[in-house]
Amino acid sequence: MELLATSLLNGLTYGFLLFMLAAGLTLVFSLMGVMNFAHASLYMLGAYVGATVAAAWGFVAALLLAPLLVGLAGCALERWLLRPLHARGHVAELLFTFGLAFLIEEAVKLVWGAGSIDHRFPPALEGSLFSAFGTPYPAYKGFMVAVAVASLAGLYALVAHTRVGLVVRAALSHPQMVQNLGHDTDRVFMAVFGLGSALAALAGVVGGAALTTEPSMAAQLGTIVFVVVVIGGLGSITGAFLAAMGVGVLQTLLIAVDLRLSQWLPLSAWPALAAVAELKVSQLAPMTPYALMVAMLLARPRGLFGQREA
Amino acid sequence: MSVRRILPWAMVVLALMFAASAAGGFVVQLATQVLVLWCFGLSYQLLFGRTGLLSFGHAVSFGLAAFGTAHAVRSLAGVPVYELLPLAGAAVGLGCGVLLGYPVTRRSGIAFAMVTLGLGELVAACFLMFPGFFGGEAGVTLQRTRVPSMLGLDLGQGLPQLAVTAAWTLAVLGVVQGLARTPFGLATLAVRENAQRIEFLGFRTATVRWVSMLVASTLAGVAGALSALAYEIVTVDAVSMHMSANVLLMTVIGGLAHPLGPLVGALFLTVMQSVVSDWTRAWLFYYGFVFVVLVWLAPEGITGLWQAARRQRPSARTVATVLIFALLLVVFVETAYQLALGEPTRLPGWRHFGPVALQALLWSSGLAVAAMLVRGLRRSEAPA
Amino acid sequence: MNALELQGLHKRFGLTEVIRGTDLAVRDGERLALIGPNGAGKSTLFALVSGQLAPDAGHIRLHGRELAGRPPHDAARAGLGRSFQVSNLFGGLSVQDNLRVAAMWSLGQRLSLTSVLRRHTGLQRRVQEMLDLLELGHRADTLARELSYAEQRLLEIGLTAAGGARCLLLDEPTSGMSRAETQRVIALVRRLSAGRTLVMIEHDMNVVFDLADRVAVLVYGQVIVVDTPEVVRQHPEVRAAYLGRHAAQQAGHA
């Protein structure tokens, strides 16, 4: 029981981190049709830049400065590199961002080295926030969730209550019409891309401190974020939220559960599957999100709540 | 698929093989590696270059075929069928295409790319579930001499192995060239150009894509088999995202349209991996940089650029700009590495020219920025 | 025998019903012009017949075969050719290859992995015929995206007919063309439609009068009249639809 509760808590925390990343990605994808393969790389940049700033000026400075810098870089990226590729189609954009992700990873190794670097929360957050079922819930995790909730509340307020947000919402489902109405969609796209990048960087500052800050962090988290976006559906922040929570909790639960498959499924009938039967559920955890994504793409490409097809 | 067309290629490959054998065992090994990658790249060219299907999971067919061949060698010990072993790989590849191809090719564009990504990761994540097939962390080893040659060759030696690899690669090249001249070949191009319109002309786009996937997977299977036989070991890396990314990078860099494209890409990768990596730690960065620049500026790849250069010779100014830019990049990157790692790079000539070049770079970029600022100020002050 | 029969077709997008109970019978071998004010649903009708959209209700019969709700390749294989208002070509392929793709299926050269395309004399002959008809022989190796606007519209028609379709649907074949180019297209269409059935969406009344045996008028998703061009021109309801009821009455008195 307490294992379940702790896993649930951890899973939700992880889910919030995933949501911070997925929200930016799905917004960019729905708006511009660009599946930004380098989104997780921006997360990584946020972590590294944040670590460097934190070492010089403290954690709070990192929280403010890293998203700002990476957000500006994102704007520049969209404006000068991505926009000319729109005419060549989505596949060209995907190919480019894929190469970019590769390049950013190498550049990070170039500047900061190939190993992990020291990036952690300030001592103020190292205690425990509360105890649930005998297990302490670390303060830094609570902080992570707070940052996620705050930034997403800000995003929501922006999208739901400002004029720019209105344009974004309209462009989510009818991009051509918005352009015909005379709105400067180019500016809106650049701003949204920058915002998504900043959000990813912010997630990086907290995520990199909670997990490790190393060059492979983008590749590890990147594909999971794709899974979340695909499952949740395009054009839907709600979908991204539910999918992020779902995937986060599912993965954490599966890793925590110490059961073998044979205890659940009657696999003993097939000797060829003996190795499969002996597998622990926790060993299946890595492949579950991919299985879900593949299933979703084959059955319902719109995802759970999407309005447009990929 | 006439012999006459393959003959010039065969002559070139034969000449290269003799050169390789003269150069020594290491070069023979490299040559085998390049040929295997070329074969893999040709299959990817069919899928992505011709049919427009960007796959992030092409290594699945390749890797599963490699494993399948490794097991085939184990079970066929003593049976003189060595030269036919790649057929086992082809069979596994075909199986992958049939099973995975049908549901997957009902999607296209980004959805297709994502599904192949997911499938690739899924298969790679499965490797612990089937240790009998995948051999766990250590992979599966094989001894190719266990299966005697049909032609009496001594396959323990590098050169006969290279010959067999070359023969099969040329066969795959022949298949690909031949298919380009069939109705199927034209249909794949049409699907890439306008998937909607071809439906109004009687074709089902999904079917064309599926057949394309079947053929590409089969040919990738041949490449996988050649890989297993060449290296005598297959690990989970063969089905990994890393391998899928590699064939993508390589084929795009080399060129998606020309059959020499994957060869150029393979040569580029091999040179970077084996030679440049000794000089500088930044070789992977350069590799990625070349890819990104090509995707952005010249999506037709190196072979495409070469063909364009043959039609219209590039101006001296263009060539000079490219060279200067490349030089500046190398100086910048090597200096950054030196600063970060604290050890000097082993790039030839750096010791003498490096610091000077860096100073020149800093001065010139400072001057350039200043000049741009002055010009910008002048413009804003000019009467409207 | 009717080449094409539409019975009770209905199609709605969201809350708007665009096709509201359309009935139409196109006789075998005739040339029918489909006219009507903007937004009447003409292109939607073409989309329904060619399988691009599925109707909510009703029947579409091509030479007796039910086509409603079937995908585009079924309609194409049944002998229906459809052109697009905005040229929908294979941009990166040459004019010759464009026509080859269009003619391949009907001539049996489908997804064969072994037969060599260039050796198929029947296909070569058909492509050459089309090139001559379209007067695009001198542009045979030019990429489709490098053609001029008028040449692209011609190729568009060529793609529709190259497969030997018995029933052609042409969507505004002369849109955006000069007088001279329009004349060229009229001549082309006349030759192409010999022995075939043709349904043509047109706004240019000169073309309609030149080519059409009958005219069908579509207003608000319903066919209000089908008759010869002369009768349709005088028809009060048609005038009302185009000019407005008041203006039509005035015009009638003039």
What is the 3 state secondary structure string of A96-126?
Answer: HHHHHHHHHHHHHHHHHCCCCECCCCCHHHC
Contacts of C101 in chain B (CB under 8 A): 186-187, 190, 198, 201
- What phi, psi does B299 have (nearest 5°)? -65, -10
C73 to chain B: nearest residue by CA? Answer: B202
Burial of B373 (0-12, 13-18, 19+ CB in 10 A): exposed
B123 to chain A: nearest residue by CA? Answer: A287
Mean pLDDT of A226-248: 85
Contact (CB<8Å) C105/B207: no
Give residue C254's pLDDT. 46
Distance from chain centroid for Cα B87: 22
What span, in angstroms and rounded, lies between the C-alpha atoms of B144 and C95?
51
B205 to chain C: nearest residue by CA? Answer: C73
CB of A258 within 8 A of CB of B83? Answer: no
What span, in angstroms and rounded, lies between the C-alpha atoms of C141 and A78?
38
Q: Please name the member of C73, C88, C89 whose beta carbon is closest to the beta carbon of B202.
A: C73
Lowest mean pLDDT among A115-119, A240-244, B5-9: B5-9
Lowest mean pLDDT among A109-123, A172-186, B110-124: A172-186
Distance from chain centroid for Cα A37: 11
Residues 112-151 of B with CB under 8 A from C: none
CB of A258 within 8 A of CB of A24? Answer: no
Question: How many beta carbons lie within 10 A of that of residue B184, not counting itself?
Answer: 23
Burial of B315 (0-12, 13-18, 19+ CB in 10 A): exposed
What span, in angstroms and rounded, lies between the C-alpha atoms of A36 and A14?
21
> Beta strands A135-138 and B140-141: pairing type?
unpaired
Give residue C48's pLDDT. 93
Contact (CB<8Å) A298/B109: no
What span, in angstroms and rounded, lies between the C-alpha atoms of B124 and B116?
12
Contacts of A102 in chain B (CB under 8 A): 245, 249, 288, 291-292
Q: How confident is the model at residue A118 (pLDDT cuts 50, 70, 90)?
A: confident
Q: Please name the member of A90, A103, A298 whose beta carbon is closest to the beta carbon of B110.
A: A90
Contacts of C82 in chain B (CB under 8 A): 200
CB of C212 within 8 A of CB of C33? Answer: yes
Whether C and A touch, i.e. at least 3 CB pairs below 8 A, reads as: no
Nearest C-alpha of chain C: how many angstroms from B93?
18
What span, in angstroms and rounded, lies between the C-alpha atoms of C10 and C20?
5
Residues 263-302 of A with CB under 8 A from B: 275-276, 279, 283, 286-287, 290-291, 293-294, 297-298, 301
Q: What angle do CA C195, C197, C198 make, to 5 degrees?
A: 120
Query: Closest Cα partner for C76 from B184, B186, B203, B189?
Result: B203
List the pLDDT tens digit at each of the 384 positions of chain B: 456 667 777 777 777 777 777 777 788 888 899 999 999 999 999 999 999 999 999 999 999 999 999 999 988 888 888 888 899 999 999 999 998 888 788 777 888 898 899 899 889 888 877 878 888 888 888 888 888 888 877 777 778 888 899 999 999 999 999 999 999 999 999 999 999 999 999 999 999 999 999 999 999 999 999 999 999 999 999 999 999 999 999 999 999 988 899 999 999 999 888 888 888 888 889 999 999 999 998 888 999 988 888 888 888 888 888 888 888 788 878 877 777 777 667 777 777 676 777 777 777 777 777 777 777 777 766 555
Give residue A258's pLDDT. 64
Looking at chain C, the whole-number percentage of residues with pLDDT higher than 90 is 59
Interchain CB contacts (distance < 8 Å): A and B = 116
What span, in angstroms and rounded, lies between the C-alpha atoms of A63 and A85?
32
Every domain of chain A and the residues it spans: 2-299
Question: How many beta carbons lie within 10 A of that of residue A308, not counting itself?
Answer: 17
Q: What is residue A183's DSSP assignment? A: -
What span, in angstroms and rounded, lies between the C-alpha atoms of B268 and B286?
11
Q: What kind and span of H or E run contains A296?
A: helix A288-299
CB of B244 within 8 A of CB of B48? Answer: no
Contact with chain B for residue A310, Cβ under 8 A: yes
What span, in angstroms and rounded, lies between the C-alpha atoms of B319 and B314?
7
Q: Please name the member of B186, B202, B208 whose beta carbon is closest to the beta carbon of C106.
A: B202
Query: Closest Cα partner for B54 from B206, B184, B248?
Result: B248
> Beta strands B140-141 and B233-234: pairing type?
antiparallel
Structure token digits, residue A24 = 């930016």
Contact (CB<8Å) C72/B185: no
How many residues in chain C? 254
Amino acid letter, residue A276: V
Give residue C40's pLDDT. 79
Q: Which residues contact B229 (CB under 8 A, 6 or more apart)?
A: B69, B73, B85, B86, B142, B144, B161, B164, B165
Q: How many CA atoms lie within 13 A of A156 on its CB side?
A: 11
Mean pLDDT of A177-189: 75
Contact (CB<8Å) B121/A290: yes
A1 has pLDDT over 70: no
CB of A39 within 8 A of CB of A200? Answer: yes
Query: Closest Cα partner for B217 from B87, B51, B98?
Result: B98
Q: For residue range B177-225, list pLDDT tens digits in order.
A: 999 999 999 999 999 999 999 999 999 999 999 999 999 999 999 999 9
Contacts of A85 in chain B (CB under 8 A): 296
| ipTM attached to this prediction | 0.90
Give residue A135's pLDDT. 73
CB of B186 within 8 A of CB of C100? Answer: yes
Give residue A275's pLDDT. 59
- Max Cα-Cα span within chain C: 70
Query: Closest Cα partner for B246 from B225, B262, B230?
Result: B262
Q: Please name the member of B118, B132, B296 whose beta carbon is closest to the beta carbon of A293.
A: B118
Give residue C45's pLDDT. 92
Contact (CB<8Å) C111/B200: no
Query: In chain B, what are the domains?
Result: 3-283 (1.10.3470), 314-381 (no CATH)
Beta bridge partners of residue C226, listed in sequence order? C216
Interchain CB contacts (distance < 8 Å): B and C = 93
**Which residue has tokens 């940049």?**
A45
Give residue C248's pLDDT. 55
A310 has pLDDT over 50: no
Nearest C-alpha of chain B: how many angstroms from A142?
31
Structure token digits, residue B280 = 């500088």
Q: Which residues contact B248 (CB under 8 A, 6 or more apart)?
A: A98, B44, B48, B54, B55, B56, B58
**Which residue has tokens 């790989």?**
B89
Contact (CB<8Å) C89/B211: no
Beta bridge partners of residue B122, listed in sequence order? none
Residues of chain C with pLDDT under 70: 242-254
Question: How many beta carbons lie within 10 A of that of residue B374, not counting itself?
Answer: 10
Contact (CB<8Å) B186/C97: yes
Give residue B1's pLDDT. 45
Mean pLDDT of A171-175: 69
The edge-to-edge listing of strands for the beta sheet with C16-27 is C16-27, C2-13, C57-62, C65-66
Nearest C-alpha of chain A: how many angstroms from B124?
9
How far are the Cα atoms of A139, B380, C90 from residue A131, in angstroms, in the given order?
10, 63, 65
CB of C205 within 8 A of CB of C173? Answer: no
Q: Please name the member of B182, B197, B203 whose beta carbon is closest to the beta carbon of C105.
A: B203
**Which residue has tokens 């860099």?**
B253
A58 has pLDDT over 80: yes
A234 to chain B: nearest residue by CA? Answer: B111
Q: Please name the member of B185, B187, B199 whose beta carbon is closest to the beta carbon of C73.
A: B199
Q: What kind and span of H or E run contains C10?
A: strand C2-13
Beta bridge partners of residue A137, listed in sequence order? A130
CB of A137 within 8 A of CB of A5? Answer: no
Structure token digits, residue A106 = 């190498």
Structure token digits, residue B122 = 């899924």
Is B145 or A263 the better-scoring residue by pLDDT? B145
CB of B196 within 8 A of CB of C76? Answer: no
What span, in angstroms and rounded, lies between the C-alpha atoms of B101 and A203?
37
What single string gives the DSSP state of each residue in C70-87?
Answer: --HHHHHHTTEEE--SS-
Query: Closest Cα partner for A62 from A256, A209, A190, A215?
Result: A209
What span, in angstroms and rounded, lies between the C-alpha atoms of C152 and C85?
11
What span, in angstroms and rounded, lies between the C-alpha atoms of A310 and A308?
7
Structure token digits, residue C226 = 């089908």
Q: What angle do CA B26, B28, B33 make, to 5 degrees?
A: 95
Burial of C71 (0-12, 13-18, 19+ CB in 10 A): middle
Nearest C-alpha of chain A: how many angstroms from B167?
32
What span, in angstroms and rounded, lies between the C-alpha atoms of B209 and B198?
12
Lowest mean pLDDT among A176-180, A256-260, B48-52, B79-83: A256-260
